[in-house]
Amino acid sequence: MTPLDSRAPHESDPVGDPKPREECGVFGVWAPGEEVAKLTYYGLFALQHRGQESAGMSVSNGDRIMVFKDMGLVSHVFDENTLNSLTGHLAIGHTRYSTTGASVWKNAQPTYRATSYGGVALAHNGNLTNTDELAAWLKERDASAPVVHKDRMDSTNDTALVTALFTTFDSVLDAAREVLPRLTGAFCFTFMDGKTLYAARDPQGVRPLVLGRLHNGWVVASETAGLDIVGATFIREVEPGEMIAVDAGGLRSERFAEPNPKGCLFEYVYLARPDTTIANRRVYSVRVEIGRTLAMESPVDADLVIPTPESGIPAAIGYAEASGIPYGLGLVKNAYVGRTFIQPSQTIRQLGIRLKLNPIRDVIEGKRLVVVDDSIVRGNTQRALVKMLREAGAAEVHVRISSPPVEWPCFYGIDFATRAELIAPGLNSEEICRSIGADTLAYISLEGLVASTGVPKKRLCRACFDGKYPVHVPAEQARLMHLEEVSYE
């Protein structure tokens, strides 16, 4: 959901090194006779890891579309009374991170607009890269329209732009057939009019989107975990370049673009839930295999393998299995700490990592540790972590990373730092090792990571690791991320 204004700084993080963020999770359900608002609530709850700044849903009973959204977690935005008031047979939902522009109510989703055919609501996961072109097209269509809707662009993200374009056609289906082929970038949409649920995925399929079956309806979700929580049976992935529609006439599918699959490799490393399935493989199993590969590529003499919770756990298990080094829990994570909007004092900043992680001294004291984490972005977290482990008595600290160095920014839906802020482009592995204070540092190779997924390299977007982008990036967007030149695969 790339807002159309300029980038805004990250919210404050205790150690100044937030994890890469996936922007959004989307959900949709068509199920007459079911409490679709409550199904959507639970679906969004399962997708909460994909966005924690705002949540919302649109529900239709066939006569009207009701929208409720607010800032905060899913469990904070919705209560029993609200859900009971959102009655109908059709719903879409959204949970959001913002990476640019303001994190404010008007940018929460789904977006809704009144139309000549009643109304349209839309939820989006991803980033569009041709917003200038689309904004110009909207201006042209508005200029020729009998009535110009003054509120078409009352928010600052590309989701609102697409929704506004949808209002310039005579039906949602007509709009989708015209608008979807003109979009570039990464997008997974769930959208609806008063009677029909739609879902669409970009031709590269950068972000995941899956289809599930209820006994009396259908569900779409960003991840299979969103199907599981509502008791839906996984049917298949929504294909790249495919649009599906569900209503009283059943399920229909059509192509709006030729597929060119480039699924995001970082979904396997960190973004997706470990119990989710992507490309017919459980993410947990892939991460364990990544750890095994990492152990074979970068062995070390040590006494204990510990993960950085939670994302490092499966890879650490795999590393321990392949290396024969015992696995242990050396760090405890505070489950109630996320992003903080409070500016910490210098004293608190120095202790910031302890808000999230605390070492178990009895486990690590005197031990040579292998610490497995998913990625290094700026290096601040790992630097503080290594220092904390040494203070707790670790004899040696060997850091192993279950992804290659992150050297390039993402334009397709992950909130990475700009290239100037990333640590890897400026330093080699030995220099990064010295910077974070570890005894040794090793990353998995790109080849090893790809092989661990079981997906052919040509079907994966690896741009954050190798700088080869699968979809056009405008020069202005590249400059904002301190990228002077863009290479394409």
At residue 428, what is the residue type?
A: N
Which residue out of 24, 410, 433, 461 is catalytically annotated? 24
User: Is residue 221 within 8 Å of residue 189, measured between CB atoms?
Assistant: no
Does residue 24 carry a catalytic annotation? yes
For the chain, the farthest-separated pair of C-alpha atoms sits apart, in whole angstroms, at 77
User: What does the DSSP assignment read for 1-46?
Assistant: --BSS---PPPP-TTS-PPP-B-EEEEEEE-TTS-HHHHHHHHHHH
How would you list the strands of the sheet with 65-71, edge to edge?
65-71, 54-60, 90-96, 24-30, 217-221, 210-214, 233-237
Classified as helix, coil or strand, 313 is: helix
E strands of 377-463, at which residues?
A: 396-401, 440-443, 460-461
Residues belonging to the chain = 489
- Which long-range CB contacts under 8 A does 467-472 form with residues at least 24 apart? 467/407, 467/408, 469/411, 470/204, 470/206, 470/260, 470/262, 471/129, 471/184, 471/185, 471/186, 471/202, 471/204, 471/206, 471/262, 471/411, 471/412, 472/129, 472/130, 472/184
**Residue 200, beta-bridge partner list:** 189, 243
Which of 342, 296, 346 minimizes the C-alpha distance to 323?
296
DSSP label at residue 420: T
Which residues are identified as catalytic? 24
